[in-house]
Amino acid sequence: MSAGSTATGTTGTDDDGVVARLTDRFDHHDPAFTPDVARAVHDRLRAAGGPVRTAAHGGMWVLARYPHVLDALRDHETFSSAHGVFFPRATDQPRFAPLEYDPPEHTAFRALMRPALAASAVRAVAPRIAGLAADTVRPLVARGGADLVAELTTTLPLAVLAETIGFSARARADILQLTRTTWATMARGGGFWPAFAALLDGEIARARRDDDGSYLAALVRERVDGHPLPDEDLRVMLVAFAIAGHETTMNTAGHLLLRLARDHDLHARLAADPALRGAAVDETLRLDTPVDHGSRVTTRAVDVAGVELPAGARVVLAVGAANRDPDRFIEPDRFRLDRGAAAHLSLGQGIHYCLGAQLGRRQLVAVLDEIVAAPPMTLTGPVDRFYANGRHLNLGALPVRFGAA
């Protein structure tokens, strides 16, 4: 822990010292860093009041309070993404565009990627999203139950991703497993990239052969300063579309549906008032932060809450902790639909604000529209919550029954 800082536990989950150990030596890859333990670790990190130093992975600083995380997200000149947001990472792994680039490269990548996810593009695809949601949810309701992870929260975002970007049915079938492999092998040489790159190269070649009118077909024909985009640039954009284009929506949808299965009063409120459904999405993003944290590297020495972080420091931005900061959110651990404009940090801030935010929200509300029109759900089995790669909040399964318990 950083000099002069103290942290006190608030949850009572520290029976064996795990929370104390992970607070003093924060390591998101420690097997003990589970979603439940993370809550207690977050509480202690916030209570420290400022940056907390950990020796893990060569030494890092952790920011856990809302204003500190917000400032770092907004200050891309001081807190650089160009050394990789995800760590540890083998040196032969690519960076994901545009998140892991600084301007001017970031600016160029974002301009190329924005058309697929612009407000006009999302409006155009909205009826199709609503139709896909209905076609996915209604048979499950008619059957009386399902594992909503296997049959809804994974399948729908991948279907929308394929239609929005122009990925083939074959690619859609492979992206989920390749994403899991990415997080499991990122720190290993070779790791996930050869298989993912092979898939993307196939998609690039297909799009060049066949102009089907998709965004992908247009992207491979794009020219910058009179030159076609190199395959390397196409790959780092497409891998980001493939992973981020389904994962955050998938994991947020799962946790929102889990909450509805456990809270039938909430189901009734959302069924009665469609205007509350957007707030329900935002509260899920806040409380069940889909990506618990990312990192930056400082480009200069910077003072945070009286602690100087040196130039070249790896800094963890603990978004999950910031999203429950009691100095920013009244009753931070409570699901409330009256918080007004979204203030959570789950979709980023500044130049790295999530490109796909509007598309993701549209899908999540479409799922809610269908689910709250159905009878309330009841859980019929255990629910496994876990972090992939130490940060991506997943559900292993969500078995439910529709109708009376």
What is the pLDDT, as a whole number, of residue 10?
42
Rounded-to-integer distance, Cα 259 and Cα 255, Å: 6
Rounded-to-integer distance, Cα 111 and Cα 106, Å: 9
What amino acid is encoded at 368 in this protein? L
Q: 223: which strand partners?
A: 228
- DSSP letter, residue 310: P
Domain annotation covers residue 227: yes
Confidence check: pLDDT of 118 > 80: yes
Q: How confident is the model at residue 2 (pLDDT cuts 50, 70, 90)?
A: very low
Looking up tokens 């806040």 gives 286
Domain annotation covers residue 274: yes
In degrees rounded to 5, what are phi and psi of residue 268? Answer: -65, -40
Domain annotation covers residue 4: no
Q: How confident is the model at residue 405 (pLDDT cuts 50, 70, 90)?
A: low
- 267, 372 Cβ separation under 8 angstroms: yes
Mean of the per-residue pLDDT values for the chain?
Answer: 94
Give me the mean pLDDT over the 105-120 stretch: 97
Measured CA distances, 32 to 17, 57, 119 (Å): 11, 16, 41
Q: How confident is the model at residue 348 (pLDDT cuts 50, 70, 90)?
A: very high
Q: How confident is the model at residue 341 (pLDDT cuts 50, 70, 90)?
A: confident
What is the pLDDT, as a whole number, of residue 204?
98
Give me the mean pLDDT over the 79-94 stretch: 91
Q: For residue range 271-309, what is the model confidence (pLDDT) as tens digits?
A: 999 999 999 999 999 999 999 999 999 999 999 999 999
Domain annotation covers residue 13: no
Pairing outcome for strands 223-224 and 227-228: antiparallel
Give me the mean pLDDT over the 318-332 stretch: 98
Domain annotation covers residue 9: no
Domain annotation covers residue 210: yes
Confidence check: pLDDT of 12 > 80: no
Q: What percent of the chain has pLDDT over 70?
A: 96
Confidence check: pLDDT of 13 > 80: no
What is the pLDDT, as a whole number, of residue 404?
66
Confidence check: pLDDT of 38 > 50: yes
What is the model's pTM? 0.94
Give me the mean pLDDT over the 330-340 stretch: 96
Confidence check: pLDDT of 14 > 80: no
Neighbours of 210 (CB within 10 A): 10
Rounded-to-integer distance, Cα 69 and Cα 174, Å: 34
Confidence check: pLDDT of 250 > 70: yes
What amino acid is encoded at 29 in this protein? H
Confidence check: pLDDT of 39 > 90: yes
Confidence check: pLDDT of 91 > 90: no
Looking at 11-53, list the stretches that DSSP marks H as alpha helix, in order from N- to C-terminal side. Answer: 18-24, 35-47
Domain annotation covers residue 5: no
Q: For residue range 192-238, what is the model confidence (pLDDT) as tens digits?
A: 999 999 999 999 999 999 999 999 999 999 999 999 999 999 999 99
Domain that residue 296 falls in: 18-402
What amino acid is encoded at 327 in this protein? D
Q: For residue range 366-375, what is the model confidence (pLDDT) as tens digits?
A: 999 999 999 9
How many structural domains are present in the chain? 1
Give me the mean pLDDT over the 121-125 stretch: 96
Burial class (CB in 10 A: 0-12, 13-18, 19+), 24: middle
Neighbours of 318 (CB within 10 A): 27
Domain annotation covers residue 2: no
Rounded-to-integer distance, Cα 56 and Cα 22, Å: 10
Q: How confident is the model at residue 177 (pLDDT cuts 50, 70, 90)?
A: very high
Burial class (CB in 10 A: 0-12, 13-18, 19+), 366: buried
Structure tokens at 109: 């990548």
Instruction: Give the CATH number of the domain where residue 178 resides.
Output: 1.10.630.10
